[in-house]
Homo-oligomer: A and B are copies of this chain.
Amino acid sequence: MAKNLFLLPGDGIGPEAMGEVRKIIAYMNGAMNADFSLDEGLVGGSAYDAHGVAISEEDMAKAMAADAVLFGAVGGPKWDSVAYEVRPEAGLLRLRKDMQLFANLRPAICYPALASASSLKPELVEGLDILIVRELTGGVYFGEPKEIIDLGNGQKRGIDTQIYDTYEIERIAGVAFELARTRKNTVCSMEKRNVMKSGVLWNQVVTETHKRSYSDVKLEHMLADAGGMQLVRAPKQFDVIVTDNLFGDMLSDVAAMLTGSLGMLPSASLGTADAKTGQRKAMYEPVHGSAPDIAGKGIANPIAMIASFAMCLRYSFNMISEADHLEKAIATVLNKGIRTGDIMAEGCHQVGTSEMGDAILKE
């Protein structure tokens, strides 16, 4: 049965990076007899330019129907002043919400060849392998009221609402514990229970979920601000970190930057398993943004996008050996000193987007 992939390259360097994934898919369909069928749509600024919205209804429907969505990046100064409802990010947020992609998996790994590119001392990040499990469909991103009220007298009031229900915390904790079992069996849950009621509930529900079904996994709790500190101080103390949507946004960016491998980090966003087919809705996207400053120059690093496709092979299609293979190809190319400009180092060979894709394909 054909595996339906829906590609949403988006803006900036998104399309260039996606082009390299297309090459890999074409190769797999040819030489490896894989049966991927591709369709492509618009999201973000490019959708706004074409349709006046951040994603069209037609493309939303295709995303909902696909076996997996590959997402590039959205945004850029060109769309900085479009209305809030149709800004590029609205397309991404709608995909997450409508597809119910509640579990965002963000590995922060340090490629050995790049340890020296980290701003941290190499010994602190060499071999780093953290998985941040971020709740992605709740919290302050989606809670209502979310509005700006005019109070008169030149005063306005901006309001956002952080809401978490028991079931939302339970299911994301479950994902974190399950994944921890395949790793070092340790979960650190982060919130601000000392100031937030949602943090109090988060802490309680994670603790109960642990006691009920995952007491074999080691569980720790940390305040999110202390967590940010500890990530900088001694990141290797962590295995799996589970946290809410906003803290996950902040902490995963800090963690990504620690690795020195920002342009290399992928992410997976997963929904609940379908009761009949067991299939999860899923979207895969690089952690980096659309980098409008270098877009269209053929110099962007496609590795995060390619690594996102590797996560897709792993989580959506259970093609574990293919995923391992692709990830190893990335590491090998880096070890050979083949680098895009963003990760260039002395004695290495600088290449463009397309040569990087080719080099990985060759491996």
Instruction: Bin the interface of chain A by size.
Output: 35 or more
Does A113 have its Cβ within 8 Å of any Cβ on chain B?
Answer: no
Q: Is the CB of B157 within 8 A of A262?
A: no
In chain A, positions 113-163 with a C-beta closer than 8 Å to chain B are: 119-121, 124, 140-141, 143, 146-148, 151, 154-163
Bound state CA distance, A167 and B89, in angstroms? 28
| Interface residue A197 (Cβ < 8 Å from any Cβ of B) | yes
Binary per-residue interface labels of chain A (191-235) against chain B in the complex, 1 for a CB within 8 Å, 0 otherwise: 010111111111001000000000000000000111011011110
Q: A202: which B residues are within 8 A, CB to CB? A: 158
Stretch with Cβ within 8 A of B (4 or more), from A171-179, A247-255, A272-280, A306-314: A247-255
Q: Are B155 and A164 in contact (CB under 8 A)?
A: no
User: Is the pair B121, A197 in contact by a Cβ cutoff of 8 Å?
Assistant: no
* Chain B, residue nearest A87 (CB): B194
Least distance between A138 CB and chain B CB atoms (Å): 10
Are B119 and A158 interface neighbours, CB within 8 A? no
- Contact among B120, B161, B225, B257 for A250, CB-based, below 8 A: B225
Q: Are A159 and B162 in contact (CB under 8 A)?
A: yes
Among A75, A197, A226, A257, which residue has the most Cβ atoms of chain B within 10 A? A197
Q: Is the CB–CB distance between B254 and A232 below 8 Å?
A: yes
How far apart are A115's CB and chain B's nearest CB, in angstroms?
Answer: 12
With a cutoff of 8 Å between Cβ atoms, the chain B residues found around residue A256 in the complex are 229
Residue A258 interfacial (CB < 8 Å): yes
Contacts of A250 in B (CB 8 A): 224-225, 228, 247, 250
Chain B hits for A233, CB < 8 A: 119, 257
A262: nearest residue on chain B (CB-CB)?
A: B229
A225 in contact with B197 (CB, 8 Å): no
Interface residues of A in 291-345 (CB under 8 A from B): none
Q: Which of A194, A195, A226, A247 has the most CB of B within 10 A?
A: A195
Given contacts A120-B119, A120-B121, A155-B166, A253 and B234 within 8 Å (CB-CB): no
Known: A119-B121, A119-B232. A159 touches B161 (CB 8 A): yes
With a cutoff of 8 Å between Cβ atoms, the chain B residues found around residue A25 in the complex are: none
Which of A75, A161, A205 counts the most B-chain CB atoms under 10 A from its CB?
Answer: A161
A352 CA to B140 CA, complexed, in Å: 45
Residues of B within 8 A of A258 (CB): 232
A282 to chain B minimum Cβ distance, whole angstroms, is 22
Whether A93 is near chain B, meaning CB under 8 Å from some CB there, is yes
Assembled-state Cα–Cα distance A120/B146 (Å): 38
**A159-B161, A159-B162, A162-B162 known; A93 and B229 CB under 8 Å?**
no
- In whole angstroms, what is the CA distance A164 to B313 when docked? 44
Inter-subunit contact B89/A160 (CB<8 Å) = no
* Given A155-B167, A159-B163, A225:B200 Cβ within 8 A: no
Beyond A89-B195, A156-B201, 18 extra complex contacts between A and B, CB < 8 Å: A89-B194, A119-B233, A146-B196, A148-B200, A157-B166, A158-B162, A158-B164, A158-B201, A160-B196, A160-B197, A161-B161, A226-B253, A229-B253, A229-B254, A232-B254, A232-B257, A233-B257, A246-B246
- 28 CB contacts below 8 A, A to B, read A75-B194, A89-B195, A119-B124, A120-B120, A147-B197, A148-B197, A148-B201, A151-B165, A154-B166, A156-B205, A157-B163, A157-B164, A157-B165, A158-B165, A158-B200, A159-B197, A160-B161, A160-B198, A160-B199, A224-B250, A228-B254, A228-B257, A229-B256, A229-B262, A232-B257, A232-B258, A233-B257, A246-B246
